[in-house]
Structure 1
Amino acid sequence: MRFPKKSLLMASLLMPFTMQTQAQLKLDNYVIPSGKPGAAVGKVITSGKALVTGDTSGLFMISKNTLRLKKNKSLPAGAYKFEVAIAAGDEKGTFTLVKDEFHQNKVIAHRGAWKNQPGSQNSLSSLKDAIKLGCAGSEFDVWLSSDEKLVLSHDAEIGGKVVEKTPLAELQTIQLDNGDRVPTLEEYLDEGMKQNGTKLVLELKPSKVSKERGKQLAASAVEMVRAKQAQGWILYISFDYDILLKILELDPYAKVAYLNGEKSPAQLKADKIWGFDYNYGVVNKDISILKDARSKGITTNVWTVNKAEQMDQLLNAGVDFLTTDEPELALEKVKTK
Structure 2
Amino acid sequence: MSRLSLLWLLAVAVLLGSCSNDFSPVIPQFTAAESLLEGGGPIPKQSYVWMNGIYRLRAGNEQFGDTVVLRWGGANPSIFCGRNSAFFILEARSLGDTIVFEGYWRYAYQNETGRVRLFIAPDEGGRQLSAGLQPTGTVTIRGQSGGTEGALQREIVMERIRPIRALFRNFWILGHRGGGRNSDLHPVSENSREMIQFAERLGCNGVEIDVRLTSDGVPILYHDENLNTRLVRGDYMVGPISNYAFWQLRRFTTLANGEQIPTLAEALETAVEKTSLNFVWLDIKTPDVIPTILPILDTVRTRAAQLGRKIEIVMGLPTEDIYQAYRNLPEATRPPALCELSTQQTEAINAAIWAPRWTLGTQDAAVAAMHSNNRRAFVWTLDNPTYILQFLREGSFDGILTNYPTMVAYMYYVKE
Q: What is the TM-score when the length of structure 2 is the normalising length?
A: 0.50
Alpha-carbon displacement from aligned partner over 1:193-247 (angstroms, at most 9, x marks no partner): 11333422212112xxxxxxx2x42121011111232674412212121243256
Post-superposition shift, 1:102? 10
Do the aligned residues in 2 keep the contact of 1:131 with 1:198 (CA within 8 Å)? no
Residue 281 in structure 1 maps to residue 347 in structure 2: no
SS of corresponding position for 2:276:
coil
Residue 328 of structure 1 is matched in structure 2 by 406
Could you tell me which of 241, 244, 249 is aligned with 1:166? 244
C-alpha change, 1:103 and 1:205, in structure 2 (3 Å) is farther
Post-superposition shift, 1:116? 4.8
Higher relative contact order (CA 8 A, sep 6+): 2
C-alpha change, 1:241 and 1:311, in structure 2 (3 Å) is same
Alpha-carbon displacement from aligned partner over 1:94-127 (angstroms, at most 9, x marks no partner): xxxxxxx998442100002232521111111211
Post-superposition shift, 1:250? 5.0
Residue 151 in structure 1 maps to residue 220 in structure 2: yes
Do the aligned residues in 2 keep the contact of 1:257 with 1:273 (CA within 8 Å)? yes
In structure 2, give the amino acid aligned to 1:300.
A
Post-superposition shift, 1:130? 0.7
- Identity in percent: 21
C-alpha change, 1:116 and 1:334, in structure 2 (3 Å) is farther
Residue 127 of structure 1 is matched in structure 2 by 196
SS of corresponding position for 1:333:
helix
Residue 207 of structure 2 is matched in structure 1 by 138
CA distance in 2 between counterparts of 1:248 and 1:277 reads 23
Post-superposition shift, 1:304? 0.7
C-alpha change, 1:102 and 1:188, in structure 2 (3 Å) is farther
Larger mean CA deviation between 144-153 and 166-175 belongs to 166-175
Do the aligned residues in 1 keep the contact of 2:179 with 2:204 (CA within 8 Å)? no
Map 1:66-85 → 2, pairs under 5 A: none
Post-superposition shift, 1:267? 4.0
SS of corresponding position for 1:181:
coil
Residue 111 of structure 1 is matched in structure 2 by 177
SS of corresponding position for 1:177:
coil
Larger mean CA deviation between 227-236 and 173-182 belongs to 227-236
CA distance in 2 between counterparts of 1:164 and 1:302 reads 29
Could you tell me which of 248, 271, 286 is aligned with 2:349? 271
C-alpha change, 1:327 and 1:242, in structure 2 (3 Å) is same
Task: Give 5+ residue unaligned stretches, structure 1.
Answer: 1-100, 207-213
Post-superposition shift, 1:287? 4.5
CA distance in 2 between counterparts of 1:325 and 1:230 reads 29
Residue 234 of structure 1 is matched in structure 2 by 313
C-alpha change, 1:102 and 1:130, in structure 2 (3 Å) is farther
Give the root-mean-square deviation of aligned CA atoms: 2.4
Alpha-carbon displacement from aligned partner over 1:291-313 (angstroms, at most 9, x marks no partner): 23222322111111001121122
Residue 245 of structure 1 is matched in structure 2 by 327
Map 1:201-212 → 2, pairs under 5 A: 201-206=281-286
CA distance in 1 between counterparts of 2:336 and 2:189 reads 27
Do the aligned residues in 1 keep the contact of 2:205 with 2:276 (CA within 8 Å)? no
Q: Give the aligned length.
A: 224
Post-superposition shift, 1:156? 1.1
In structure 2, give the amino acid aligned to 1:168.
F
Residue 338 of structure 2 is matched in structure 1 by 257
Residue 76 of structure 1 is matched in structure 2 by none
SS of corresponding position for 1:117:
coil
In structure 1, give the amino acid aligned to 2:249.
L
C-alpha change, 1:120 and 1:147, in structure 2 (3 Å) is same
Residue 293 of structure 2 is matched in structure 1 by 221
CA distance in 1 between counterparts of 2:169 and 2:296 reads 25
Residue 193 in structure 1 maps to residue 298 in structure 2: no
CA distance in 2 between counterparts of 1:287 and 1:313 reads 13
C-alpha change, 1:104 and 1:190, in structure 2 (3 Å) is same
SS of corresponding position for 2:367:
helix
Post-superposition shift, 1:143? 1.2
SS of corresponding position for 1:176:
coil
Post-superposition shift, 1:325? 0.3
C-alpha change, 1:314 and 1:235, in structure 2 (3 Å) is same
In structure 2, give the amino acid aligned to 1:135.
C
C-alpha change, 1:289 and 1:202, in structure 2 (3 Å) is same
Q: What is the TM-score when the length of structure 1 is the normalising length?
A: 0.61
